[in-house]
């Protein structure tokens, strides 16, 4: 066999390396190579036209018999690697979570790993099968049948009967609630890993006839809620939106309509049309844990045809779903951010629900934006993409205004829910009257009492967890800061600890000030933990549930809490913005926003946009109940546009004003941004590398270079952080910056293209 110099990229921060490999090895096949410090899996990029003049080592073995990723996905990966200036191999783990990385090794031991040098006959056979698969003439069943057998070992738990609540223990109830939330069925491993329900509990439940356990590969086929597949009679706006989507070619559509206006019905209709054409649907959601209802609706409409990229699944289960994708068995794939790179072929529609959500952007390497890649993917696949939102991002809205995206509007709420009445409480007046800072205004307290009396629910939001925001010394005026980060510590009463929300540092609160030794330490600014305490004192009989990152750190506890609230077991919900999203509390009639201005003080040009989105979303919660809802919004700045427009639920008015501001200050969508970040032992060290990079960027025409400046949080985990912000008129300006001044893979400067977070 002829061995030729071949470029191979490793999933490590290194430039591609050159090895000797069999001639004709296709790009995209994974191979195993030896490094100085161990072995690694790498990806064949192709022939090396100018190999280094050293003795090249041969590869160790070939991992895949043929490239596993569909060619069009390769095209997307090449684009993304270029756009975000990362190696393709860094994106691969996002495409095939468990199959691709060393996990395949398990199969290798069973004889599936092939060395072309050792076992040529079988290699050729598989390579031919692979080609046939790529031509769409063959499924992967033959190749992957071993996995099927392993997948069949999955045990699914299904609820059979409604329990008598008095006859079950708390753990048993937890299991049953989890099942109900999931639409009736879950995997045994999910119950164990996410809800802490062990085999013993399930056995007891089974003996009581409350559940049934079956083994299956088809993970979701049982997640059907009876009666969910009620076909609605679409209204004219919905029909017009559906008709406007040409499923035969690329086009970006912005589906804009308030929560409950019927956007999901539009996605479902277009999806059905695409499935009938024999094509597939890629459906992105911001958070999978909060979409059980969507999954149930999808499963009811397209039974057995939905696969889910679920962060909560374990390796084997994920693998089973990926295998279903590779086998083209599940034509609808639902997932979060990384699902945009799923190995789905023949895509006829991409849905991006809640397109404005920040969770579509990765805040760690590689820093991709799933919505933006979804548009690129649709272009490559030549299919439509539907971006849906009640409060579109300024970027998408602007594109729709310019006619680059097709705007589809839904202005009614088919089920006839009215928008809630919003009452504004000016905290400045409340302060003057009470002669002190007011946490709960009189109208809010009255509202809570009323809702308790009527047996309804109230929800209070404050975007700050912990008991007190920070401690300071009244003698010397200094706050107690984290020793490792440039932020104050937050006091948590239940654990009696001061805690750093960035690095997790914890300390018992000191008796005296560490700076001046005075015994005048005092907490400032209340957090959700204290709100809960104060409420309980004000309303001793109320059942209060707090949901924030502290109370929901255990997997499944958020879902369990939300479920308890949906079932009316909670009178007052207190929490951070995680409460604002996608739930349906039928008894919720009052929402209190304790301090609407909180998010506005953050030094970020998107602060107003985020505040507007949050307030609008929250207000939408109160309107879902049978009875008309009410929102009480406490603020020190009722005239701020983000607040004033949110009160009127006027997105278009807000966007008009916001876009003017963005244009005047040359921010996106009127410019393109790239944020270069560096870290160092000292600020100086971090600054030096950015200064050097800035000098290289100085030759690129049309860029504005701002910085280097200390990051807003300039130290995290004892590492100092600096930022260099680059503005260009268009995205192509940033691309030429990357071409002229490329970044060293694994070097000291990291790139965040189209950044969303500037905080740390
Ligand atoms: P969105 O995705 O905009 O929040 P949904 O599609 O989930 O809205 O619709 C909200 C509710 O209204 C759902 O229960 C849905 O079944 C129902 N619905 C949607 N369109 C119609 C319609 N044309 N007629 C009756 N009910 C509808
Ligand atoms: Zn810290």
Which pLDDT belongs to residue 371?
A: 98
- The answer on pLDDT for 78 being more than 80 is yes
262 lines ligand 1 (CB under 6 A): yes
In this predicted structure, which of 117-126, 579-588, 701-710 has the lowest mean pLDDT? 117-126
- The answer on pLDDT for 208 being more than 90 is no
d(CA 410, CA 755): 30
Which pLDDT belongs to residue 316?
A: 52
316 or 569, higher pLDDT:
569
Between the two ends of the chain, the Cα-to-Cα distance in Å is 53
Which pLDDT belongs to residue 222?
A: 36
> Ligand 1: distance of its center to the CA of 545 in Å?
29
Copy the structure tokens of residue 735: 């691309």
Copy the structure tokens of residue 309: 């990229």
259 lines ligand 1 (CB under 6 A): yes
User: What phi, psi does 405 have (nearest 5°)?
Assistant: -110, 150
- Do 4 and 20 touch, CB atoms closer than 8 A? yes
- The answer on pLDDT for 97 being more than 60 is no
In this predicted structure, which of 27-31, 182-186, 529-533, 721-725 has the lowest mean pLDDT? 182-186
Question: Residue 573 contacts by C-beta under 8 Å, 6 or more apart in sequence?
Answer: 457, 458, 459, 460, 544, 545, 546, 547, 565, 579, 585, 588
Count of CB atoms situated within 10 Å of the CB of 501: 17
User: pLDDT band at 264, cuts 50/70/90?
Assistant: very high
Which listed ligand is nearest to 480 at the C-alpha? 2
257 lines ligand 1 (CB under 6 A): yes
Q: What is the CA radius of gyration of the chain?
A: 28
- Do 238 and 265 touch, CB atoms closer than 8 A? yes
Burial class (CB in 10 A: 0-12, 13-18, 19+), 759: exposed
Which listed ligand is nearest to 502 at the C-alpha? 2
Pocket test for ligand 1, best of 241, 262, 416 (most atoms within 8 A of CB): 262
Which pLDDT belongs to residue 131?
A: 59
> Ligand 1: distance of its center to the CA of 392 in Å?
19
Which listed ligand is nearest to 718 at the C-alpha? 2
Ranked by mean pLDDT, which of 67-76, 322-331, 695-704 comes out on top?
695-704
467 or 20, higher pLDDT:
20
- The answer on pLDDT for 558 being more than 90 is no
User: pLDDT band at 232, cuts 50/70/90?
Assistant: confident
State the DSSP code for 440: S
Residue matched to tokens 């000030």:
513
Mean pLDDT of 378-388: 98
Kind and range of the H or E run holding 45: strand 38-47
Pocket test for ligand 1, best of 227, 230, 254, 260 (most atoms within 8 A of CB): 260
User: pLDDT band at 120, cuts 50/70/90?
Assistant: very low
Q: How many CA atoms lie within 13 A of 520 on its CB side?
A: 9
SS3 337: helix
Mean pLDDT of 443-465: 91
Pocket test for ligand 1, best of 264, 293, 412 (most atoms within 8 A of CB): 264
State the closest ligand 1 atom to the C-alpha of 413, by its place in the atom list counted from 1: 12
Query: What is the Cα 556 distance to its own chain's centre?
Result: 16
Mode of pairing for the β-strands spanning 30-35 and 38-47: antiparallel
> Ligand 1: distance of its center to the CA of 180 in Å?
22
Query: What is the Cα 238 distance to its own chain's centre?
Result: 27
Helices assigned H by DSSP within 419-499:
427-434, 442-453
User: pLDDT band at 510, cuts 50/70/90?
Assistant: confident
Which listed ligand is nearest to 716 at the C-alpha? 2
d(CA 755, CA 432): 41
Copy the structure tokens of residue 448: 């809570």
Task: Supply the pTM of this predicted model.
Answer: 0.80
In this predicted structure, which of 93-107, 156-170, 243-257, 518-532 has the lowest mean pLDDT? 93-107
d(CA 49, CA 58): 17
Residue matched to tokens 């876009």:
659
> Ligand 2: distance of its center to the CA of 579 in Å?
26
Domains 3-68+102-139 and 421-465+527-661 alike in fold = no
Question: Residue 233 contacts by C-beta under 8 Å, 6 or more apart in sequence?
Answer: none
State the closest ligand 1 atom to the C-alpha of 259, by its place in the atom list counted from 1: 4
Which listed ligand is nearest to 489 at the C-alpha? 2
d(CA 514, CA 516): 6
- Do 498 and 490 touch, CB atoms closer than 8 A? yes
State the DSSP code for 539: S
Which pLDDT belongs to residue 218?
A: 36
39 lines ligand 1 (CB under 6 A): no
User: pLDDT band at 418, cuts 50/70/90?
Assistant: low
In this predicted structure, which of 158-162, 315-319, 675-679 has the lowest mean pLDDT? 315-319
> Ligand 2: distance of its center to the CA of 503 in Å?
4
- The answer on pLDDT for 140 being more than 50 is no
> Ligand 2: distance of its center to the CA of 487 in Å?
7
State the closest ligand 1 atom to the C-alpha of 266, by its place in the atom list counted from 1: 6
Residue 703: strand pairing partners: 728
Domain segments of the chain as ranges: 3-68+102-139, 155-215, 236-364+372-410, 421-465+527-661, 468-525, 672-753
- Do 756 and 358 touch, CB atoms closer than 8 A? yes
Burial class (CB in 10 A: 0-12, 13-18, 19+), 681: exposed
User: pLDDT band at 634, cuts 50/70/90?
Assistant: very high
Mean pLDDT of 445-458: 93
Q: What are the E-state strand segments in 353-418?
A: 384-389, 406-410
d(CA 266, CA 245): 10
What class does CATH assign to 421-465+527-661? alpha beta
State the closest ligand 1 atom to the C-alpha of 268, by its place in the atom list counted from 1: 6
State the closest ligand 1 atom to the C-alpha of 257, by its place in the atom list counted from 1: 3
Sign, Cα dihedral of 672, 384, 219, 162: positive
State the closest ligand 1 atom to the C-alpha of 234, by its place in the atom list counted from 1: 23
26 lines ligand 1 (CB under 6 A): no
Average pLDDT, the chain: 81
Which listed ligand is nearest to 486 at the C-alpha? 2
- The answer on pLDDT for 402 being more than 80 is yes
Ranked by mean pLDDT, which of 303-317, 375-389, 624-638 comes out on top?
375-389
Which pLDDT belongs to residue 130?
A: 57
In this predicted structure, which of 257-266, 347-356, 402-411, 546-555 has the lowest mean pLDDT? 546-555
Residue matched to tokens 């609230």:
565
Please choose, from the candidates 557, 549, 563, the residue with its C-alpha nearest in 3D space to the C-alpha of residue 502.
549
Share of the chain above pLDDT 90, in %: 38
**What residue owns the CA closest to ligand 1's atom 9?**
262
d(CA 691, CA 163): 66
239 lines ligand 1 (CB under 6 A): no
d(CA 319, CA 323): 6
233 lines ligand 1 (CB under 6 A): yes
- Do 84 and 6 touch, CB atoms closer than 8 A? no
- Do 177 and 561 touch, CB atoms closer than 8 A? no
Mode of pairing for the β-strands spanning 332-335 and 280-284: parallel
Mean pLDDT of 332-336: 87
**What residue owns the CA closest to ligand 1's atom 18?**
262
> Ligand 1: distance of its center to the CA of 265 in Å?
6
Which listed ligand is nearest to 484 at the C-alpha? 2
Query: For residue 30, is the peptide bond before it cis, meaning its omega torsion is within 30 degrees of 0?
Result: no
SS3 331: coil
Q: How many CA atoms lie within 13 A of 460 on its CB side?
A: 30
pLDDT digits (tens, 9 = 90+) for 706-757: 989 999 888 999 999 999 999 999 999 999 999 999 988 778 899 999 999 8
Which pLDDT belongs to residue 128?
A: 60
Pocket test for ligand 1, best of 265, 353, 620 (most atoms within 8 A of CB): 265
> Ligand 1: distance of its center to the CA of 687 in Å?
53
User: pLDDT band at 212, cuts 50/70/90?
Assistant: confident
d(CA 265, CA 75): 31
- The answer on pLDDT for 385 being more than 80 is yes
pLDDT digits (tens, 9 = 90+) for 38-65: 777 788 888 999 888 889 988 887 777 6
State the DSSP code for 578: G
> Ligand 1: distance of its center to the CA of 250 in Å?
26
Which pLDDT belongs to residue 710?
A: 92
242 or 186, higher pLDDT:
242
Kind and range of the H or E run holding 61: strand 61-62
Please choose, from the candidates 598, 672, 603, 673, the residue with its C-alpha nearest in 3D space to the C-alpha of residue 642.
598
> Ligand 1: distance of its center to the CA of 158 in Å?
28
d(CA 373, CA 248): 20
583 or 72, higher pLDDT:
72
In this predicted structure, which of 145-149, 290-294, 382-386, 471-475 has the lowest mean pLDDT? 145-149
- The answer on pLDDT for 318 being more than 50 is yes
Q: In the CATH scheme, what architecture does the domain 672-753 have?
A: 2-Layer Sandwich (3.30)
Q: In the CATH scheme, what architecture does the domain 3-68+102-139 have?
A: 3-Layer(aba) Sandwich (3.40)
Which pLDDT belongs to residue 110?
A: 31
- The answer on pLDDT for 221 being more than 50 is no
Which pLDDT belongs to residue 155?
A: 62
**What residue owns the CA closest to ligand 1's atom 20?**
262
Mean pLDDT of 4-15: 80
Copy the structure tokens of residue 689: 């590398």
- Do 173 and 211 touch, CB atoms closer than 8 A? no
> Ligand 1: distance of its center to the CA of 582 in Å?
14
Assign 3-class secondary structure to 624-637: CCCCCCEEEEEECC
User: pLDDT band at 102, cuts 50/70/90?
Assistant: very low
> Ligand 1: distance of its center to the CA of 700 in Å?
50
- Do 49 and 7 touch, CB atoms closer than 8 A? no
User: pLDDT band at 564, cuts 50/70/90?
Assistant: confident
Which listed ligand is nearest to 498 at the C-alpha? 2
- The answer on pLDDT for 99 being more than 80 is no
Residue matched to tokens 């000098």:
695
Count of CB atoms situated within 10 Å of the CB of 180: 17
In this predicted structure, which of 55-64, 138-147, 479-488, 599-608 has the lowest mean pLDDT? 138-147
Mean pLDDT of 685-698: 95
d(CA 117, CA 123): 9
687 or 319, higher pLDDT:
687
Q: In the CATH scheme, what architecture does the domain 236-364+372-410 have?
A: 3-Layer(aba) Sandwich (3.40)
């Amino acid at each position: 066999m002829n061995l030729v110099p071949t470029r191979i990229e490793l999933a490590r921060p290194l430039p591609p390396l050159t090895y000797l490999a069999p001639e004709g090895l296709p790009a995209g096949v994974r191979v195993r190579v030896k490094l100085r410090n161990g072995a690694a899996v790498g990806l064949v990029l192709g022939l090396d036209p100018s190999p280094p003049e050293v003795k090249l080592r041969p590869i160790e073995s070939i991992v895949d018999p043929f490239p596993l990723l569909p060619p069009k996905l390769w095209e997307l990966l090449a684009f993304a690697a270029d756009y975000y200036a990362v190696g393709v191999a860094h994106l691969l783990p996002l495409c095939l979570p468990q199959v691709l990385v060393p996990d395949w090794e398990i199969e290798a031991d069973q004889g599936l790993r092939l060395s072309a040098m050792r076992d040529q006959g079988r290699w050729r056979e598989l390579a031919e099968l692979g080609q046939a698969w790529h031509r769409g003439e063959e499924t992967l069943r033959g190749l992957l049948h071993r996995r099927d057998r392993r997948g069949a070992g999955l045990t699914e738990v299904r609820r059979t009967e409604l329990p008598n609540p008095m006859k079950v223990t708390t753990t048993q109830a937890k299991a049953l609630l989890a099942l109900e939330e999931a639409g009736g069925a879950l995997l045994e491993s999910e119950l164990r890993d996410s809800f802490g329900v062990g085999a013993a509990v399930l056995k007891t439940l089974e003996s009581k006839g409350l559940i049934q356990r079956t083994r299956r590969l088809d993970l979701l086929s049982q997640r059907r809620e009876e009666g969910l597949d009620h076909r609605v009679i679409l209204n004219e706006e919905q029909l017009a939106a559906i008709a406007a989507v040409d499923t035969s070619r690329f086009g970006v559509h912005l589906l804009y309509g308030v929560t409950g206006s019927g956007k999901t019905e539009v996605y479902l209709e277009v999806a059905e049309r695409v499935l009938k054409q024999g094509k597939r649907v890629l459906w992105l959601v911001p958070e999978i844990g909060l979409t059980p209802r969507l999954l149930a609706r999808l499963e009811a409409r397209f039974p057995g045809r939905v696969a889910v990229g679920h962060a909560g699944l374990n390796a084997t289960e994920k693998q089973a779903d990926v295998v279903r994708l590779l086998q083209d068995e599940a034509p609808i794939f639902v997932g979060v951010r990384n699902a945009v790179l799923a190995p789905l072929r023949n895509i006829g529609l991409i849905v991006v629900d809640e397109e404005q959500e920040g969770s579509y952007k990765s805040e760690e390497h590689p820093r991709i934006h799933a919505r933006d890649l979804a548009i690129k993917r649709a272009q490559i696949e030549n299919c439509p993409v539907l971006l849906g939102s009640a409060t579109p991002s300024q970027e998408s809205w602007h594109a729709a205004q310019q006619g680059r995206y097709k705007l589809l509007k839904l202005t009614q709420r088919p089920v006839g829910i009215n928008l809630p009445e919003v009452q504004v409480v000016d905290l400045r007046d409340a302060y003057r009257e009470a002669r002190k800072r007011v946490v709960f205004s009189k109208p809010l307290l009255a509202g809570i009492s009323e809702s308790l009396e009527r047996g309804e629910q109230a929800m209070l939001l404050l975007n700050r967890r912990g008991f007190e925001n920070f401690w300071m010394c009244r003698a010397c005026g200094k706050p107690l800061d984290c020793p490792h980060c440039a932020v104050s510590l937050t006091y948590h009463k239940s654990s009696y600890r001061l805690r750093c929300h960035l690095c997790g540092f914890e300390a018992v609160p000191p008796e005296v000030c560490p700076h001046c030794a005075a015994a005048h330490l005092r907490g400032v600014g209340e957090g959700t933990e204290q709100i809960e305490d104060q409420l309980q004192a004000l309303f001793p009989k109320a059942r209060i549930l707090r949901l924030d990152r502290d109370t929901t750190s255990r997997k499944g506890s958020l879902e369990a809490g939300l479920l308890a609230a949906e079932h009316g077991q909670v009178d007052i919900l207190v929490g951070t913005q995680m409460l604002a999203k996608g739930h349906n509390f039928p008894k919720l009639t009052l929402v209190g926003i304790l301090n609407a201005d909180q998010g506005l003080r953050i030094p970020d040009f998107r602060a107003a946009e985020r505040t507007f989105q949050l307030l609008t979303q929250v207000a939408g919660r109160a309107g879902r109940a049978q009875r008309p809802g009410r929102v009480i919004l406490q603020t020190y700045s009722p005239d701020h546009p983000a607040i004033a427009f949110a009160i009127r639920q006027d997105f278009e008015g807000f966007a008009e004003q916001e876009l003017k501001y963005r244009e005047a200050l040359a921010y996106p969508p009127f410019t393109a941004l790239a944020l270069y970040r560096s870290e160092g032992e000292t600020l100086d060290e971090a600054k030096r590398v950015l200064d050097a990079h800035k000098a290289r960027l100085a030759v690129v025409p049309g860029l504005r270079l701002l910085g280097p400046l200390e990051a807003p949080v300039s130290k995290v985990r004892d590492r100092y952080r600096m930022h260099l912000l680059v503005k260009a008129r268009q995205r192509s300006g940033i691309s030429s910056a990357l071409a002229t001044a490329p970044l060293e893979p694994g070097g000291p400067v990291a790139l965040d293209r189209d950044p969303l977070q500037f905080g740390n």
